[in-house]
């Protein structure tokens, strides 16, 4: 995800500060996301995807897969739900090992 966000920002030719402004975030948040120091909420992910004019789930996919996809809204939502479920399951597994 971090790589996708950085790549999309660079494609637009904008700084982290400009991306943050456009998405309603702080530049520190964008920097932390791109440096993989933080995860993002679904609202933040949506705001970033809106700036990039792509579907939210595409930020969660490997870049080579994301570039080849063109989906309708229903399929995009299904893919996003699937990616979120996978993230939630992974998070629960990692959290379970820590507790």
Domain with 64 in it: what CATH number? 1.10.260.40
Residue 11 CB neighbour total at 10 angstroms: 9
Average pLDDT of the segment spanning 65-69:
55
Q: What is the Cα–Cα distance from 79 to 73, expressed in whole angstroms?
A: 10
Range of the domain at 39: 2-98
- The pTM (predicted TM-score) of the whole model is 0.64
**Segment 9-56, tens digit of pLDDT:** 998 999 999 999 999 999 999 999 999 998 889 999 999 999 999 888
């Amino acid at each position: 995800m971090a790589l996708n966000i950085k790549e999309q920002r660079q494609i637009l030719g904008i700084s982290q500060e400009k991306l943050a402004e456009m998405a309603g975030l702080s530049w520190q948040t964008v920097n932390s996301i791109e440096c993989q120091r933080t995860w993002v909420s679904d609202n933040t992910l949506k705001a970033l995807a809106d700036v990039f004019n792509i579907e939210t789930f595409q930020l969660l996919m490997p870049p080579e897969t994301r570039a080849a996809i063109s989906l309708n809204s229903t399929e995009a939502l299904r893919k996003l739900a699937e990616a979120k479920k996978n993230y939630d399951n992974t998070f629960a597994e990692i959290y379970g090992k820590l507790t």
